[in-house]
Amino acid sequence: MELLTGIFVTPFVQMVTLPDFFLQVLWEGFVGGVLYALIALGFVLIFKASGVFNFAQGIMVVFAGLTLVGLHENGVPAYLALILTIGVMGLLAILVERFVMRPLVNQADIILLMATIGLTIFLIGLGEFIFGGEPKQMITEELGLPTGSTAIEIGSDGLLILQHIDIAAAVIAITMVAILGVFFNKTRIGRALRAVADDHQAALSVGISLNQIWAIVWFAAGIVALATGIMWGARSDVSFALEIIALKALPVLILGGFTSIPGAIVGGLIIGIGEKIGEIYWGPLMGGGIESWLAYMIALIFLLFRPQGLFGEKIIERV
């Protein structure tokens, strides 16, 4: 009986009796979801263009963040460091296209996946070699990002605390999604990119440069990785532990679909808010710490009804 009350009654009573806290949970879930969505975006971009699940997206987040902070630590002004980091991610995109992707054109997807796993291991080693293994503090203030918090009183003694950096994260994420949406749907390169995703050989036959498209898309994923690195880094610090968090994008992708930008956003928000509510209101019943698997449970439940994900393309293969 106590268990049933804990599942079906207590959480809802808490939501009603502590509305400020419920709002705080929703806000934290929203911010977490936005950040998951940013990571998932990087995966989606590359998957759309090449059908490759880019296992290296997580380490790209760390690599971009470390490059930015590392340059600044060596005396480069923050904004110049930001521009140089964008340049480094561009260079990385060109190198990946030239030495990883190009030799593997028309190979099976699993080969490309393995190549990105190899790239992950290489970037971990390179990152540790250049920057060392120590975590670094994100240069939040130097980049002009807001710090501090605003507390909004709710009711007589309720409080909703909004971190300024979280608000900035949400605004940046939404802006990036809008830009990417326009880029994919309204530009010539965007359409070419979608053609490449459908069929490499067909795209080549109509004169689309596969090499160019792949370099562009890896560069775009690098920019997304940099934005993610800055935001996650500001919340904790920039360390190799961030690479593990990138795996949180997996349930987001399962839910939203591997090829959909809106899917990454909606999926990110569902997972972010869902896991927070689950952990806060039902987690204590199971000893807490359920967040890490709850995201997968939510994604799997959605999959029962929509195997291709919320916004994924339905694959129909005729035999």
Partner 1 sequence: MRNLLIGGLALAAMTAAPLPAQAEDSVYIQLATYRTGPFAGSGIHIANGMADYLNMLNERDGGINGVKIVVEECETGYNTQKGVECYEQAKAKNTLVFNPYSTGITLQVIPKAAVDKIPILSMAYGLSAAADGNTFPWIFNPPMTYWDGATGVLSHIANELGGLDQLKGKKIGYIFLDAGYGREPIPLLEKMAEEYGFEIVQYPVPVKEMQNQSAQWLNVRRDKPDFMVIWGWGAMNPTAVKEAIKIRYPMDRFIGVWWSGGEDDARAGGQDAKGYKTLNFHAVGADFPAIQDVKRLLVDTGKSQTEADRLGENLYNRGLMNSVLMAEAIRTAQEITGKKVITSEDMRVGLENLNITEARLKEIGLEGFMAPIRTSCEQHSGHHSMYVQQWDGEKWVKLTDWFPPMTDKVKPLLAQAAQDYKTSNAPWPDRAEPCVN
By CB under 8 A, name the binding residues for partner 1.
Answer: 14, 18, 21, 24-25, 28, 31-32, 124, 128, 132-135, 137, 149, 161, 163, 232, 235-237, 239-245, 247-248, 275-276, 279-280, 283-284, 287-289, 291-292
Q: What is the C-alpha to C-alpha distance for residues 100 and 109, in angstroms, rounded to an integer? A: 13
3-state secondary structure 64-89: HHHHHHHHHHCCCCHHHHHHHHHHHH
Smallest separation, CB 31 to partner 1 (Å): 8
Place of tokens 């599942």: 7
Burial label, 192 (beta-carbon count in 10 A; 0-12, 13-18, 19+):
buried
Taking the complex as a whole, the smallest distance from the CB of residue 203 to partner 1 amounts, in Å, to: 36
Distance, in Å, from the CA atom of 142 to the CA atom of 36, rounded to the nearest integer, reads 25
Minimum distance of partner 1 from residue 135's CB (angstroms): 4
Q: Which of 316, 309, 315, 194 is nearest to 253 (CA)?
A: 309
Q: Which is nearer to partner 1, 84 or 285 (CB)?
A: 285
Identify which of residues 27 and 43 has a Cβ nearer to partner 1 in the complex. 27
Residue with Cβ nearer partner 1 (89 or 242): 242
Least CB distance from residue 206 to partner 1, whole Å? 41
- Would you say 97 or 243 has its CB closer to partner 1? 243
CB atoms within 10 A of CB 17: 9
| CB of 21 vs partner 1, minimal distance in Å | 6
Closest approach, Cβ 128 to partner 1, in A, equals 5
In angstroms, how far apart are the furthest CA atoms of the chain?
68
Q: Where are the alpha helices (DSSP H) in 199-281?
A: 200-205, 210-235, 242-245, 249-256, 261-277
> How many residues belong to the chain?
319
Nearer to partner 1, 134 or 199 (CB): 134
Closer residue to partner 1 in complex, CB, 131/218: 131
